[in-house]
Structures are given as structure tokens and as C-alpha cells.
Structure 1
Amino acid sequence: MSNYLHKTIPNLKPFSYEHHHDSLLINQQWLLVNGISKKKSIYTFKKDNVLEISRQNNVITTTWNINLLNKFSIETEDGLINVEVFFKDDDILVLNNQDKEEFAMYINTTNYKDEVNNVDDINTYLREKYKKKVSSVIYDHEFYYIENSKEYGPFKVEELAEKVKSGEISSYCFVKDINEYDYSKRLRIEDLLHEL
């Protein structure tokens, strides 16, 4: 059953009590993505094995437990469900049903300023989240650039932007991250600047 999940959502990290429990799972507002067009549900895992499920003006209080293998059991309206827990990243939680070929995906809306009520709102949330992530990665990395068959660098994006602005180099120069071996991604300075 796990193969089905990993083919659908690649690069999942298994739940780790030390890394995920206190900092990412507990007291966070996890919005259920599945079925949001029918009803909005927010799951909040609390200490002492309490799970609050909020739907409109209704809050259901139930229970959840973790076993030694980091598998969860959750009491729902449909009975006891055993799930394996994964994180796609710090803000995307996936619960894989151990008895069926199905999973539930959640996004963490605790620190998100806008309401998330439908699929379009989820798309906006993800677009903003990954745009910020890409911007921070670009700012933190250094890049080489190639011009007239000669390589220069490494430079931060701000430095490359200044070189382009002053006319020292063209925005059409190919760049590569310091961790890449070649320019096969065909990324140009203007592509980096466009993402900022």
C-alpha cells in the first residue's frame, strides 16, 4: 500500500518523533485537502492524545496515539483508523491508511494569513509557499556564470543583478548553482531575477 502513496507523492519523509512531534505536529492547524470542496475540516493534534476536528461551527474531540514504530491510530466517526505518517515538507502532512489504498493530505495553515476554503485557495497557498521557498533558496545560493566561453564566480544573485544593471554582463548569460557540474539546465541570469 505504501508503494501507491510514494508513486502518487514522491520524496516523502517518514514521521520522526524527535524531529516532527513537538515542532511540526502538535498544536498546528492542519487543513484537510481531500474533500475541501464539500466541507472544510481542520485537524489539531494536541498533547495528551487529544485530536480536535473543526468543521464550520462544530468541533469534534477525539483521540490519537503513536506506537513504537511511529504509526498512528486515530479515532474518527468511522471508527479506529491506523495510519502511517509522512511529511512532504514542514507544511504538508500525509496520513496513509494502513488498511486501504488511500491517504489524506493536509496543509499547515497555522501561520497563513488568508482563509483557505476551496481548491483555488489551496493552489494560492502552495504557490505563495513555494515562491517564498524558491526566493530564499536563490538568495542563499551562489552561482557561476559563463560568458564568451569563460566561467566566472561564484556570485550571489544580488551581485549578478548589479552586474546586469551596470551593463557589465548580459542577463542572457547561463548560470549554474555552485553544486552543479555543468550548465545543462540552461538557466539564465534573467530566470533567477524573474523568480525574485
Structure 2
Amino acid sequence: MSDYLHRTIPNLKPFCFEHHHDSHFINQQWVLVNGISKKKSIYTFKKDNVLEISRKDNVIKTTWTINIQNNFSIETEDGLISVQAYFKDDDILVLNNLDKEEFALYINTTNYEDELNSVEDINTFLKEKYKKKVSNIIYDHKFYYIEQSKEYGPFKVEELAEKVKSGEISAYCFVKDVNEHDYSKRMRIEDLLHEL
């Protein structure tokens, strides 16, 4: 059943008790993405194996457990289900049903200021999240640039920005990541600056 999940959502990290349980899982507000357009559900896994499911004006309390293989058993309205937990990122949780080809996707909104109430809200959340992630990666990374057939670098984006600002180099110079072999991606300094 996990093949179906990994084809649908690649690059998942399996739940690791030591790494995820206390800091990423327990007492976090997980909004269920599946079916959010019909009803919003917030799942909160408590330390004492209580699972709180909040919907509009009511809170359902049920149970969850985890075994030695990091498989979860969760009591739901539909009965007891067994799932494996994965993280796409620290704030995106996937629970894969071990008995069916289906999974539930959750977003951690504990530290997110806006509410997620619709598919549009989720799209906005993901767009902002990955834009920020790309910006952070670009900001910390180093790049070479080529000007008049000569290569310079590597430089961080802030250093390139300063060189452009001072007029030392053109914003239209081609750049490549330190791990790339050539400039075939045709990315310019200006493209990097737009992502910050």
C-alpha cells in the first residue's frame, strides 16, 4: 500500500519517535486537508493517548496508540484504523492507511497566524511556505557568475546583490549553483534577486 502513497507524494520522511514525537507531533493542531471544503477538522494528538478532533462547535475525544514499528492505531468514527505516519516537511503530516490505498494529509497550523478553512487557504499556505523555503535556500547558497566569458565566485546572493547595486556587475549575468557544471539553466542574477 505504501507504493501508492510514495508515487502520489514523493520524498516523504518516515515518522521517527525520537525526532518527531515530542517536537513535531504532540499537542500540535493538525488541520485535515482531505474534505476541508465540506468540513474543517483539527486533530490534536495528546501525550496521554487522547486524540481530540475539533469541528465547528464540537470536540470529539478518542484514542491513539503507537507500536514499536511506529505504526499508529487510531480510533475514529469509522472504527479502529492502522496507519503509518510520514512527514513531507515538519508541518505536513501524512497518515497512510495500512489496509487501503488511501491516506490523510494534515497541515500543522499551531504557529500559523491565518486560519485554514478552504482549499484556497491551503494553496496560499503552501505557496507562502515554499516561497519562503526557496528564499532561505537561495539566501544561504553560493553561486558562480560569468561575465565576458570569465567565471567569478562563488558568492552568496547578498554579495551578488551588492555587486549589482554598486554597478560592478550586471544583473543580467548568468549564474550557476556551486553544484552545477555549466550555465545551461540560463539563470541570471536578476532571477535570484526576484526570489528573495
Query: Shorter-chain TM-score: which interval?
Result: over 0.9
Unaligned segments of structure 1, at least 5 residues: none
- What's the TM-score once normalised by structure 2's chain length? 0.97
- Alignment match, 1:153: 153
- Alignment match, 2:47: 47
Aligned equivalents of 1:124, 1:180: Cα separation in 2:
31
- What's the TM-score once normalised by structure 1's chain length? 0.97
- Alignment match, 2:6: 6
Percent of residue pairs identical = 83
What secondary structure does 1:72 align onto?
strand
**1:185: how far off?**
2.5
- Alignment match, 2:186: 186
What secondary structure does 2:45 align onto?
strand
Aligned equivalents of 1:40, 1:28: Cα separation in 2:
16
Unaligned segments of structure 2, at least 5 residues: none
Deviations 1:127-186 (A, max 9, x none): 111111111111111111111221111111111111112222111212122233332322
Aligned equivalents of 1:47, 1:180: Cα separation in 2:
46
Q: What is the one-letter code of the residue matched to 2:184?
A: S
Indicate the larger mover: 123-132 or 164-173: 164-173
- Alignment match, 2:144: 144
Alignment of 1:1-196 (within 5 A): 1-196=1-196
Say how many residue pairs are matched. 196
The RMSD of aligned alpha carbons is 1.0
Aligned equivalents of 2:137, 2:43: Cα separation in 1:
30
Deviations 1:72-109 (A, max 9, x none): 11000100000011000101100000111000000111
What secondary structure does 2:31 align onto?
strand
